[in-house]
Every structure is written in structure tokens, then in C-alpha cells.
A = this chain, B = another copy of it.
Amino acid sequence: MPDILHRIAIKSQPSETFKALATLPGLGRWWTGDTTGDAAVGGVIHFRFGDRGFIDMKVREREPGTRVLWEVVGGPDSWIGTTVAFDLAPDDGDTVVMFRHQGWKEASEFMHHCSTKWATFLMSLKSAVETGRGAPFPHDVHVSNRGD
């Protein structure tokens, strides 16, 4: 099965990057400003993207400074049941983030799009942690020309 895989390094302590991935205010600063729900293990986080759609993520793992794993429980059909993992490791003053969105059934055109879009959101995460300014929806970088 095809996976979406990315790696970035963020000038931060892992604990700072972890906050951006594991708390509602943190997530709101780089993915979508409309983030609500329960970020504890077993909780569901609701990510809303206006008329672009929504994603509901069940928090499966949340290891401070180390790892966040979500399972998609609401959103586009092809996302349901897939998992999104962020693994963090310190690296000489940086935090390396290994990103994996796995469980896709096929390498659809939409999956290709999501791969590129995730990259731009990870750059938003990097910027949010390093500078305090990310580019969450509705200020996100568009990889196409139809608001997406």
C-alpha cells in the first residue's frame, strides 16, 4: 500500500514541537484554525476546513516529546481507517519529525494531492514552532488553484 512519508527538522526542543502536535491550540496554529475536541488518548479531535471539508482524528498514541499517532475516524472516504503518525527525535538542537500517513488503499490522484499538501502543512508546522507564525487553514498554501 502506498504511504505518504515526509521528514522535516525544526529548530526546537522536542517538547515544543510536541505541544504543536498534541494540544488544540498548538494544532490550530499550523493545520487549521478551526480545531476542537479532545486531544487526550482515546479522544477525537475535530479539524474543520470550512467548505473544503473536515477530518476527525482519534488519538491512539500520545507520548510526550516522542510520538503522536492518530486514526482517521471521519472525513473523506479514502482517509477513513488510515493512520497519521509523527515521530519526534532530538538532533543537535533540532527536532526531527518523521511523518507517516499510512493505510491508503490506492495511490489515487487525491492521495498524490494529499502528499504535497501534507508537505506544505509540515512546513507550516516548522514555521509555527520556529517563528510563531504558521499557515493554517484558511491561510494555507494552495498546491492547486481551486482553494486547495
Secondary structure dominating the interface of A: mixed
Residues 64-104 of A contacting B (Cβ, < 8 Å):
94, 96, 98-99
The answer on a CB contact under 8 Å between A8 and B116 is yes
The answer on a CB contact under 8 Å between B5 and A112 is yes
A143 contacts the other chain (CB 8 A):
yes
Q: Quick one: which of B94, B107, B109 contacts A3, CB cutoff 8 A?
A: B107
A7 contacts the other chain (CB 8 A):
yes
Q: Quick one: which of B11, B96, B115 contacts A5, CB cutoff 8 A?
A: B115
A4-B5, A7-B116 known, 5 other contacts, Cβ within 8 Å: A2-B5, A9-B145, A94-B144, A96-B109, A116-B123
